[in-house]
C-alpha cells in the first residue's frame, strides 16, 4: 500500500507542473497578442494624430484665406461707401445749386412770393434729414462689419 501511495503521489506531482506549463503557454501567447494589439493601436493612434494635425493645418490655412478675403472685401466696401458718400454730397451740392439758381431766376422774373420762400425752407431740412439718415445708416453698416 505504501507503494501504491507513493506511485499515486508521483503521478499527482507531475500533474500540477503540466497544468502550469499549459497555463504558461497560453499566457505567453496572450501577452504576445496583447503586445501586437497594443503596437497596432499605438500605430493607429499615431496615424490619427497625424491626420488631425494635417486637418488642423488645412483648417488654419482656410481660416487665414477667408479672413484675408473678408478683410479685402471690407476694405473694398469701405472705399465704395466713401465714394458713395462723396457722390451723394456732390449730388446734394448740385441740387442745392440748382435750387438756388431756380430761386434766383424766379426772383429775377419777380414770380417768387413769400409762400415760395417757406416751401424752399421746408425742402432744405428734408434733404439734410435724408442725408443724415443715409450717412448714419452707412456708419451703422460699417460698425456692424467691424464688429464681425
- Please check the confidence at residue 38 and state whether its pLDDT lies above 50: yes
Over residues 20-39, the mean pLDDT reads: 81
pTM of the model as a whole: 0.44
Give the contacts of 102 (CB within 8 A, at least 6 positions apart).
none
Q: What percent of the chain has pLDDT over 90?
A: 51
Backbone angles phi, psi at 104, to 5 degrees: -65, -40
82-137 pLDDT per residue, tens: 999 999 999 999 999 999 999 999 998 886 555 455 555 555 555 555 566 656 66
Q: Which residue has the higher pLDDT, 26 or 20?
A: 26
Grid cell locating 138: 452707412
Amino acid at each position: 500500500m505504501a507503494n501504491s501511495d507513493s506511485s499515486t503521489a508521483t503521478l499527482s506531482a507531475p500533474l500540477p507542473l503540466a497544468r502550469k506549463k499549459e497555463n504558461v503557454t497560453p499566457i505567453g501567447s496572450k501577452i504576445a497578442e496583447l503586445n501586437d494589439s497594443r503596437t497596432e493601436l499605438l500605430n493607429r493612434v499615431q496615424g490619427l494624430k497625424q491626420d488631425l494635425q494635417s486637418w488642423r493645418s488645412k483648417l488654419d490655412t482656410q481660416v487665414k484665406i477667408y479672413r484675408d478675403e473678408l478683410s479685402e472685401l471690407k476694405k473694398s466696401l469701405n472705399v465704395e461707401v466713401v465714394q458713395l458718400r462723396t457722390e451723394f454730397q456732390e449730388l446734394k451740392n448740385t441740387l442745392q445749386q440748382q435750387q438756388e439758381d431756380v430761386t434766383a431766376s424766379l426772383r429775377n422774373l419777380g414770380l417768387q412770393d413769400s409762400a415760395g420762400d417757406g416751401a424752399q425752407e421746408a425742402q432744405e431740412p428734408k434733404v439734410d434729414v435724408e442725408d443724415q439718415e443715409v450717412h448714419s445708416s452707412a456708419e451703422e453698416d460699417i460698425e456692424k462689419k467691424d464688429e464681425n
